[in-house]
Structures are given as C-alpha cells and as structure tokens.
A and B are shown apart, each in its own frame.
Chain A
C-alpha cells in the first residue's frame, strides 16, 4: 500500500494519481511493468533455448517471437486501460463543468430572487407576487438539489466522497434538519416528532454529510406519507454505536422491491403512483455516506403501513 503510494507520486505516474486511478490500472505504470516483464522473458527464453538447440539463429528466433507475443498482448491490455483513464478524465471534467457552469446561473437566479423577496431597497412584493417568487425559489432549489445529488453520485462512483470525521452531536444535527424541513412537513400535513434525548454520546461523523443523511431520510418520510401522518425521529446508544430510527406512517415499500431500494435511480412502483417528484438518488447517497462513516443502514417496511429507516454510526472516543 505504502509502496504503491510512493510510486504514485513519481511524476511519470502522477496523472493517474490525479484522476484517482489505482496503480494497477494506470497505463503508464503498466507499460513500465510490461517493459520489465519483456526483458525478463527475453533473458529466460534465451537461457532455455540455448539448452534446447545449438543453432544461434533458432535461439534468436524463439527469443524474438516470445517477446513479440508478450509485447502485443500487453499493448492491447494497456490500451484498454488507457480508455478507462480517458473516461475517468472526462468524468472529472464533467464534475468541474457541472459544478461551475450549471450552478453559476442558478446561483444568480437564487440570489436575485432572494433580493426581490426581501425587498432589498426595491418595493416590497405584493402577497400575490410573493407567491410566484416562491415558485421560482422552489424550482430553483429543486434544480440545484438535483445537480448537487448528481455531483455527489459521480463523486461516490469515483471513490472520492470526502468525509471529514469529527465528534458531532446527533441531536443538534437532527434539530437543524427538522427546523429546515418543518415548512415542507406542514405543507404535507405531517408532524415531525424529534424524540432524541439530551446527553447522548457524540458520534464520529462528518457534520455536513450526517445532515444530508437526515435530510434525505426525513424528506422521504414526509413525501411518502399518505397526505397526513407523523414522522418519529429517535436515537439510542447500542454498544459502540448510536442507532437512529426514522419512522413514518407512509405508503411503505412493496416486498418485491425492497432489495433494490438502495440502488441508484430506483423508485418503487407505488411511490411513482403517489409522488412523481424525486430522482431515486437520495437513498443511494445515504448508503454511500453511512458506509464511508463505517456504519450501516437498513429498514423495516410494511406496504400501506409505513417504513422505519435505521442507521448506526460509531460513537466518538
């Protein structure tokens, strides 16, 4: 592991390090190994063939043809990896373009809209105008969320989800999220019950990412309620972990589709009937974050009765 890291720092192989490609998939490194292998093969076939035959021409012929075969096979393989490197390069570029070029106009839109809504020295909008400004704000936010989710998925797939693990208080994270999501809950006639007691041990997590986990799970619990109901958020200590549960009284997940629920872009049939907004990325991201946090996430669900999502993350020591 250490050796490969050091090799990765050599300028010749730096490109692979930059694009997060393991050394054994790095074309320039493989080419180098191929060269060594070829020299080794030449020497050994030379030694073997001198024992088999006295004729120097035949020895040379055998040596050359063996190394030629190795070289051809190797080149074909290395070319395959080179394509992989190019694809990864394109993905990284895509992330940069999406994060900058797509989000910049959306930020402009968001800020200009914020300014109009606050008045900002301009005339304050009428009640009716405010309603339309809210529509712009919500659509803008949905689009930003979609782009952010897609960016997160791309990062996860490239094995590049940055986690900054620090002691964090699960209750205050949950409180923040409940505060943010309360308007959405109210609009859906859903009551959010935060049932986390004070004085629970701190967890070792990334505060922002942990917030994302709560946001995704509670947002789902609200959205997939049947028009009204409640969502209970609780947490307790379990050995070296804190176990959080988020329980809803919603539509539930059909048995046959339960195994697919953490897959990317997956949305269950009954949900599609109920709620068309959503990308099927939320739970995929949740699982990736919890995995990176050395925890686990699972659920219990009964169709038409509700779902409880659980996750466990380690206590900070």
Chain B
C-alpha cells in the first residue's frame, strides 16, 4: 500500500523544488516563474536552514547558490552527498561565481549542473530545470 501511495504521489503531486539562495528578489522571481510551470517551490535563505529543510521535505530538485550565510554552498553540497537519504536528489548550482576552480569543485562534489545566473534569462533557467524534473 505504501508503495502504491508513494508511486501515486510521485506521479501526480506537483514536483517540489527547494531553492537555497540568500537574495530574496531572486527567490521571488524564479520562484514565481517555476510556480507558473506547475512546480511547488520552497525557499531557504541560508545554507544551514536549507540543509535542514532538505532532510524534512525531501524535494525532487535542489537549486543551490554557493555564497550563502551560515554555511556556504560547497559545504551544503558535501553534506547532501554524504547522506544516503539525500544523495540522489539532483542539485543545480545557481550562482554568479564562474572561476574554473569553483565550477570544477562543485561538479566533482556531485552537482548535476552549474549555471551562472547572470548569463541566463529566466526562461532558460526554467528550461534547464524542466530537463531534470
């Protein structure tokens, strides 16, 4: 029974996205655009509460900024990938850092995709998300 419920939930419930980002304006704009596409969006404004929220709500996808108060994105990513419960959740790093060292580090620690905010239109970001969930 549990499995069937779980299956139905997965199939018909709106997909849940957690957006960990300290800039409220970005939260608001991207959040709205994603809701328009039928996603449910939860937000966290710092790394620590973001990590706690992941464990509680089990999102289908995580959008993660790298420069965050309390705990930076790299540390959040590391914790996520260490935990068997959260390891499989795809993570898109959404940041404005773009040095090759940062990109390489994020990808090697398990990020699925790396997007530089300033280089993408809102629609393009939504498109990249749709490719994953």
Which residues from B are CB-within-8-Å of A103?
96, 117-118
Which residues from B are CB-within-8-Å of A107?
26, 96, 117-118
Tell me, yes or no, whether B129 is within 8 Å of chain A by CB: no
A112 with B25, Cβ < 8 A, contacts A99-B97, A100-B67 known: yes
Q: Kindly specify which of A41-49, A72-80, A114-122, A193-201 makes contact with the partner chain.
A: A114-122
A118 with B118, Cβ < 8 A, contacts A99-B98, A104-B96, A108-B26 known: no
Which residues from B are CB-within-8-Å of A105?
25
Shortest CB-to-CB span from B108 to chain A, Å, is 16
Interface string of B46-58 (1 = CB under 8 A from A): 0000000000000
When the two chains form their complex, are residues B32 and A144 in contact, meaning their CB atoms are under 8 A apart? no
Tell me, yes or no, whether A96 is within 8 Å of chain B by CB: yes
When the two chains form their complex, are residues B99 and A95 in contact, meaning their CB atoms are under 8 A apart? yes
When the two chains form their complex, are residues B97 and A110 in contact, meaning their CB atoms are under 8 A apart? no
Tell me, yes or no, whether B16 is within 8 Å of chain A by CB: no
Tell me, yes or no, whether B5 is within 8 Å of chain A by CB: no
Which residues from A are CB-within-8-Å of B75?
none
Shortest CB-to-CB span from A120 to chain B, Å, is 6
Question: For residues 104 through 146 of chain A, which have their beta carbon under 8 Å from a beta carbon of chain B?
Answer: 104-108, 110-112, 114-115, 118, 120-121, 144
Which residues from B are CB-within-8-Å of A147?
118
Q: How large is the interface on A (under 10, 10 to 19, 20 to 34, 35 or more residues)?
A: 20 to 34
When the two chains form their complex, are residues A114 and B122 in contact, meaning their CB atoms are under 8 A apart? yes
A111 with B122, Cβ < 8 A, contacts A104-B23, A120-B36, A121-B36 known: yes
Q: Which residue of B lies closest to A95 (CB)?
A: B99
Q: Which residue of A lies closest to B95 (CB)?
A: A100
A108 to B96, CA, bound (A): 12
Interface string of B93-126 (1 = CB under 8 A from A): 0011111100000000000000001110111010
Question: For residues 22 through 50 of chain A, which have their beta carbon under 8 Å from a beta carbon of chain B?
Answer: none
Shortest CB-to-CB span from B34 to chain A, Å, is 11
Question: For residues 1 through 37 of chain B, which have their beta carbon under 8 Å from a beta carbon of chain A?
Answer: 23, 25-26, 28-30, 32-33, 35-36
A104 to B28, CA, bound (A): 14
A111 with B29, Cβ < 8 A, contacts A100-B67, A148-B118 known: yes
Contacts A112-B28, A112-B29, A120-B33 known; list 4 others, CB within 8 Å.
A108-B25, A112-B25, A121-B32, A162-B100
Interface residues, chain B, with chain A CB atoms under 8 Å away: 23, 25-26, 28-30, 32-33, 35-36, 67, 95-100, 117-119, 121-123, 125
Interface residues, chain A, with chain B CB atoms under 8 Å away: 95-96, 99-100, 103-108, 110-112, 114-115, 118, 120-121, 144, 147-148, 162
